Copies of this chain bind each other. A is one copy, B any other.
Amino acid sequence: MTNKKTHPFDEALQLSGANNSYSGHTSPAYANMRGPFGGITAAVLLKAILEHPEHLGDPLSLTVNYAAPVQDGAFTIQTQLMRTNRSTQHWFVTLAQAETIAATATAVFAKRRPTWGATERPFPTIPPMEQCDSLLPSFLPPWTKQYELRLKGGTAKLFASDADKGSSETVQWIQDKPPRLLDFASLTAICDVFFPRIFVRLGQFMPIGTVSLTIYFHVDAATLSAHGDAPLIGAARANRFGNSYFDQAAEIWTPAGNLLATTHQIVYFKG
């Protein structure tokens, strides 16, 4: 124990337990409209594997299915190692509250080797962070206060009109608040910080809920560690809205143009 203050993110991710069974507790700092921010749930599911003594290599892919609202309070996580190969490993993880499954996840971990590489997706353009405003509507839920979120074009302007904008694409600066050294758990949560694309597209708030989230990690732990606690750049857009659901495709970049993660989700909306 030290008297150094623990970052709220690390407090939210505290787990106790062993032998594939762990206990945790939701954090008021990362609360959403109802229950916790989906990104913190994804992060704690991944952390249960990252802390597992049998885990091999770094996360390569993670899919989280949100099966039921997580209630504020205690939860249990069960990890199951489905298969270990020479360089990859497959996990299945569940989060439950009082016998009720609230989320399931599968993850692939991998040891990666240097190969030819190229980033095909164009790096998004955004003005310097200090030129983008950080105004967020005051009624947004607590988790939004744990991030510095500064949108190209201005955050306040985003919801200024309820006309159909024809596009839901945003580019934004993203940073833990207070700043925190980047790792796979925090990158996982950051993959879910984008405002729901239907809010952006229509300039309206409505009940929504992410049903499934997938992340592909394109870098190793050393690359994340070398990034330190500097801000990141995210870009997100939808492909299709309709019949109660829309999808979101997004990327997380370093300001130097290193693509850290690509992420997708499918989201319920009550339209």
Q: Is A176 an interface residue (CB 8 A)?
A: no
**Pick the contact of A68 from B83, B94, B100, B241 — CB < 8 Å?**
B83
Contact A115 B242, beta carbon cutoff 8 Å: yes
B interface footprint on A204-225 (CB within 8 Å = 1, 0 otherwise): 0000000110101011100000
Q: Is A31 an interface residue (CB 8 A)?
A: no
Copies of this protein, total: 2
Contact A115 B68, beta carbon cutoff 8 Å: no
Residues 193-243 of A at the B interface (beta carbon under 8 Å): 201-202, 211-212, 214, 216, 218-220, 237-243
Contact A247 B262, beta carbon cutoff 8 Å: yes
30 A–B pairs (Cβ distance < 8 Å), ordered by A: A61-B65, A61-B212, A63-B63, A63-B106, A63-B214, A65-B108, A67-B85, A87-B244, A88-B211, A92-B92, A104-B106, A106-B106, A108-B212, A110-B245, A112-B244, A113-B243, A113-B244, A115-B241, A115-B271, A116-B241, A116-B242, A116-B271, A117-B240, A118-B242, A120-B201, A120-B241, A212-B216, A216-B247, A218-B243, A218-B247
Chain B nearest CB, measured from A210 CB (Å): 11
Q: Is A101 an interface residue (CB 8 A)?
A: yes
Interface residues of A (CB under 8 A from B): 60-61, 63, 65, 67-68, 82-83, 85, 87-88, 90, 92, 94, 100-101, 104, 106, 108, 110, 112-121, 164, 167-168, 201-202, 211-212, 214, 216, 218-220, 237-245, 247, 249, 251, 259, 262, 264, 266, 268-269, 271
Contact A164 B240, beta carbon cutoff 8 Å: no
Chain B nearest CB, measured from A238 CB (Å): 5
Contact B82 A94, beta carbon cutoff 8 Å: yes
CA A113 to CA B270, docked complex, whole Å = 9
